[in-house]
A = this chain, B = another copy of it.
Amino acid sequence: MTGGSNGAPYAGLITREQEPLNLESPFANLDDQITPDNLFYVRNHFPVPQIDIAEWRLTVSGAVARSVVLTYDELRALPSKTVMATLECAGNGRVYLVPKAKGTMWGQGAVSNAQWTGVPLSVLLEKAGINAGAVDVVLEGADRGEVDEPKSPGPIHFARSLPLEKAMKDEVIIAYAMNGEPLAPNHGYPVRAVVPGWYGMASVKWLARIIVTNTAFQGYWQTLEYVSWRREDGLPVLAPLGETQIKSQIARPAEYETVGAGSQYRVHGAAWSGESPVSRVELSCDGGDSWDPVALTDAPVPFAWCRWEYLWSVPQAPGRPSLLTRATDEAGNAQPDHRDPDRRNYMINHVVPVEIEIRWTPAGS
């Protein structure tokens, strides 16, 4: 919060799409491990639904023993937990793809980290009693609209499914609070799913219906959007995205930042993975010729990013070097060096050079 403007640099959300509203977090201004609510990225597919909390109900239905219907107060009275989780849009970094890809042109800021409080999804599913043979849990939001390719049969609701195995995991919650406060409308008020370790599209906002199914869900965002090419039995198939891929990003120096020749510069950033903690982050300040490990300044835990830093002795010679970073997690996942086109316009975690400029700083400046 600021009481005025004095010409000092400003950190705030960046509009990437006006309608529906899509706002990027200013990743270059990474500070605390937790992203404050007014800097957390916003990814909307449709207008924010207006919810009357007195009328609102969350239902669990489908392949269950008994349907469950909960008011907001009833939901919040159930056992709850708090999970720190990084959410990353599956299109984060898309603006750096060559050739240009379809979709919202996210830079580095379609990723943020928060504390989420809510009821484990498993508690609700157990309350309803899952039928034998159930395979998928569909999460449907109150947000809706028409899509064009193929033209939808009128407005459809945003919906994504989780395989039952992931849906039952401890970490998956139906959240009503973010960083200790009720969810803001842009973040899913009154409740949203939070699916730690998976790309953001799984963490359905404005959650209204939970539907257990006996077959794999074939919705629009499950089969047409948020899918990548995969090889199964030697055949190319379009498979729904799931686990977040390991990634490290440099906050500062930021792209095209000018740094002083011969200075000491604190390079810093954050790294995260899917379901496994980050184990190692490396940095190259010479375009990839040499790599050094960096210090992790947060304890690596599953689901949340950890910040890292490195004190760089900037060369004496002016130039335009590229900085690169790459991470590895405890499960052995590492970032690829090159882009795999099978990923289409999603899962952008190959190592991307960040060009900066080294300039001579006159003495005394």
Residue numbers of A with Cβ under 8 A of B are: 1-19, 23, 26, 28-31, 38, 95-100, 105, 107, 251-260, 263-268, 357, 359, 361, 365
Contact = CB atoms under 8 A, between A and B. Distances in A.
A15 to B, nearest CB: 5
B10 A254 contact: yes
Q: Which 7 A-B pairs have the closest CB atoms?
A: A5-B252, A9-B11, A3-B263, A9-B9, A19-B98, A13-B256, A3-B260
A95 B17 contact: yes
Contacts of A252: 5, 10
A12 B255 contact: yes
27 contacts: A1-B258, A1-B359, A2-B257, A2-B259, A2-B260, A3-B264, A3-B361, A4-B264, A4-B265, A4-B266, A5-B266, A5-B267, A6-B266, A7-B30, A10-B28, A10-B29, A10-B254, A13-B256, A14-B107, A15-B96, A15-B255, A16-B105, A17-B100, A18-B97, A38-B256, A38-B357, A105-B105
Contacts of A23: 256
Contacts of A97: 18
In the complex, the count of this chain's copies comes to: 2
A265 to B, nearest CB: 5
Nearest to A39: B256
A268 B5 contact: yes
A18 B263 contact: no
A259 B260 CA distance: 33
Contact of A19 (B5, B99, B256): B99
